[in-house]
Structure 1
Amino acid sequence: MKQVTFAPRHHQLTNINTWTPDSQWLVFDVRPSGASFTGETIERVNVHTGELDVIYRATQGAHVGVVTVHPQREKYVFIHGPENPDADWHYDFHHRRGVVTEYGETRNLDAMDITAPYKPGALRGGSHVHVFSPNGENVSFTYNDHVMHEYNPAHDLRNVGVAVPCGPVEVTAQHPREYSGSHWCVLVSKTTPAPQPGSDEINRAYEEGWVGNEKLAFIGDTLSVKGEKVPELFIVELPKTAQGWKQAGDAPLAGTDTTLPAPPAGVVQRRLTFTHQRAYPGLVNVPRHWVRSNPQGTEIAMLMRDESGVVQLWLILPEGGEPRQLTHLESDIQSAFNWHPSGNALGFVLENRIAIADAMSGSVRFLTTDHGNPPSADAVVFSPDGNYIAWMEETAGFRQLWITETGL
């Protein structure tokens, strides 16, 4: 185990893609806690020398955080809160945007248009947790909608969207909070405020993960026959051409005054898990985790409870079928997880230690022994070369970054 940050402040890793492609630097923000969005810089640390770089510094009272890295280049995408926040417009789920920084130049990823008629390719609210597709072409995100929030907060449903590089999307600002963006952005999930109990309808889509470059899996909250929330796994197939992203389906891409933006034509939402009848139905929300495909795009991993109520790793094919229970542990997996770049193992926190599970057998090996404090549940992330795994841990009262070798 090696501690790589030492400054008396917090260091926050995102749940995936936190290493530069050369596996030399960890990228982070400086929020004081996961729930407080008050960091002003995006930074990186060299895991071997301890050298620190500031990648971006916010101005005009804005805050930034939740940074991830392009898989092939030193290109960064992160959340940017509003400049000059005031009582009417401050950081919130529906008041934030993605920005991309490369070679010192920073641009808005998503455009904002909250004045009807709404512009296709622009968003009407806040994007969050931006993750490049494996080939670096597109960016997934979760989303909340300002127009729906003003119309009826109960209709401002969390959704999943994608930014594609067939912009820019130019917005003629009719509201002081509108702006243009570099990418064409659409929602790809479909939600409804009142799902039919026992159906495949959902009122929330979240914690998405790329499955190859042309599919996205995510968690969707269904309702049981009794009306209880059951998070299930869903997948969408994405358009394969630039024109496909711009073709509206049965509802406007940009939404209306009373409806959310809608997915492009041909984007079909398909449910993969059917767990309503299990003793412990649904994917778990604690620990919070993001569904993750292996690098080959052939299996999707998620966390569910076994018949005894223990949180285990499960795998399922993108085509569907019965999930396969991978781990058979006596105590809960305690964190979000990620795949090793080889696809042969997954890393997570177990028994307050860093552990990896073999992706075929489910056998578990511990990489660490004695921790001063338990590793954070937020992020356990392999380096691109597979030699290291990084996590956060409270040290002398501050969240610091740590790594250890994987032996893989």
Structure 2
Amino acid sequence: MKQITFAPRHHQLTNTRTWTADSRWLAFDVRPSGASFTGETIERVNVESGDVEVIYRATHGAHVGVVTVHPADDRYVFIRGPQFPDADWQYDFHHRQGVIAAQGQVRNLDAMDITEPFTPGALRGGSHVHVFSPDGQFVSFTYNDHVLHTLDPKRDLRNVGVAAPFGPVTPAGHHPREYAGTHWSVLVSRTTPEPTPGSDEINRAYEEGWVGNDRLAFIGDTLSVGGEKVPELFIVDLPQDEQGWKRAGNAPLEGTSASLPAPPAGVAQRRLTFTHDARFPGLLNAPRHWVRSNPQASAIAFLLRDDKGVVQIWLIAPDGSQLRQLTHNESDIQSAFNWHPAGHSLGFVLDNRIARCDATSGTVTYLTSDHGNPPSGDAVVWSPDGRYLAWMEEVDGFRQLWVTETGQ
């Protein structure tokens, strides 16, 4: 294993798609550890030479972070906070946007419209953790709503959305914080403030992952019969053409002053896991992880405790069949994880070491030892050629980037 960044500052990897398509560069931001969102640059480091390049530098008081990379092109998508922030409009979950940097230009991904009449294809709040679909055509994100946050913060429920390449979308611009976007953006999940206990209703959708190019899986918070939160796995089938993305269902795509934007017609979420009666119910929020499908879109991986209370990787088919426990470790998996680009193994942190497991047998192989500090659980990411795994590890008080060869 080798350390590839050395500057006395934090280097933050996103949980997936941090490598350029040629497997030579890792993209990162420079936020401090924790919840602070004060980074001013998006950068990349060459894993062979250690050379660092600035991709984008924020201006006008904005901050940036959580960068991911297009699977084929030299394009980067990331969060940008408000430019010219003031007392009424500062960085927050519902005050941020996605932007794409490519060929020296930066464009807004999602449009913003917060004054009625709202604009179909525009959002009314903040998008974040943007990830390209495997074919690079679409971008998933999680979302919080400014309009409902202003009305009642308890009604600003986190949801999952998709930016589709059917823009541009240009709101009328009745508010100085409104702007146009290159993509047509909609929510694809449905939430309700007070789910019926024991039902499939959820009040939060998050930690999504692409299942091929036309489905999206995510974690949704259900309530048990006793009213306890139980995170379960859900999936949605996405529209197949531009008309499908722009066709409203039984509620407006753009939402109303009292309701969230609604998914397009035919987009219905299905629940895949039913763990309410398990000894340890619910998908894990700690370690924080994002559900991930293999490249073949035949198996979705997630973290769940086994009957001994140990955090393991489990797999399920997109139709809800073939649920099985993949790993049978004696100790908890400690991190988010990702699939090898060929789909035959997964990488993660186990026993404070970088490890991979066979996707069929669950056999674990350790790839590193003798870490100075435990690897961060935020991100363990394969290079597109499968040769490397990258992660973060603290050195002298700063998060640095590391890689190890995988032997695959």
- TM-score, normalised to structure 1's length? 1.00
- Residue in 2 aligned with 1:70? 70
C-alpha displacement at 1:322, in angstroms?
Answer: 5.0
- Residue in 1 aligned with 2:79? 79
- Residue in 2 aligned with 1:356? 356
Taking the aligned partners of 1:77 and 1:332, their CA distance within structure 2 comes to 32
Q: What runs of 5+ residues in structure 2 fail to find an aligned partner?
A: none
C-alpha displacement at 1:321, in angstroms?
Answer: 2.4
SS of 1:32's partner is: coil
- Residue in 2 aligned with 1:269? 269
- Residue in 2 aligned with 1:47? 47
Tell me the C-alpha RMSD between the 2 structures.
0.5
SS of 2:298's partner is: coil
- Residue in 1 aligned with 2:172? 172
Taking the aligned partners of 2:407 and 2:124, their CA distance within structure 1 comes to 46
- Residue in 1 aligned with 2:144? 144
SS of 2:321's partner is: strand
Residue-by-residue CA offset, 1:273-310 (whole Å, 9 max, x unaligned): 00000000010100000000000000000000000100
- Residue in 1 aligned with 2:153? 153
- Residue in 1 aligned with 2:297? 297
Match status 1:58 vs 2:58: yes
What are the within-5 Å matches in structure 2 for residues 73-152 of structure 1?
73-152=73-152
C-alpha displacement at 1:55, in angstroms?
Answer: 0.2
Residue-by-residue CA offset, 1:87-146 (whole Å, 9 max, x unaligned): 110000000000001011000000000000100000000000000000000000000000
Taking the aligned partners of 2:85 and 2:294, their CA distance within structure 1 comes to 40
Amino acid at match of 1:122: A
- Residue in 1 aligned with 2:336? 336
Match status 1:200 vs 2:200: yes
C-alpha displacement at 1:397, in angstroms?
Answer: 1.1
What are the within-5 Å matches in structure 2 for residues 213-292 of structure 1?
213-292=213-292
Taking the aligned partners of 2:115 and 2:239, their CA distance within structure 1 comes to 27
- TM-score, normalised to structure 2's length? 1.00
Taking the aligned partners of 2:81 and 2:321, their CA distance within structure 1 comes to 41
SS of 2:44's partner is: strand
Residue-by-residue CA offset, 1:25-81 (whole Å, 9 max, x unaligned): 000000011411000000000000011100000001100000000000110000000
C-alpha displacement at 1:84, in angstroms?
Answer: 1.0
- Residue in 2 aligned with 1:316? 316
Taking the aligned partners of 2:123 and 2:51, their CA distance within structure 1 comes to 37
Taking the aligned partners of 1:201 and 1:161, their CA distance within structure 2 comes to 17
SS of 2:60's partner is: coil
Contact in 2 for aligned 1:12/1:34 (Cα 8 Å): no
Q: Which runs of 4+ in 1 moved over 6 A?
A: none
Residue-by-residue CA offset, 1:242-283 (whole Å, 9 max, x unaligned): 110000000000000100000000001100000000000010
Taking the aligned partners of 1:301 and 1:312, their CA distance within structure 2 comes to 10
Contact in 2 for aligned 1:215/1:237 (Cα 8 Å): yes
Deviates more, 1:316-325 or 1:57-66: 316-325
C-alpha displacement at 1:400, in angstroms?
Answer: 0.1
Taking the aligned partners of 1:19 and 1:99, their CA distance within structure 2 comes to 18
- Residue in 1 aligned with 2:370? 370
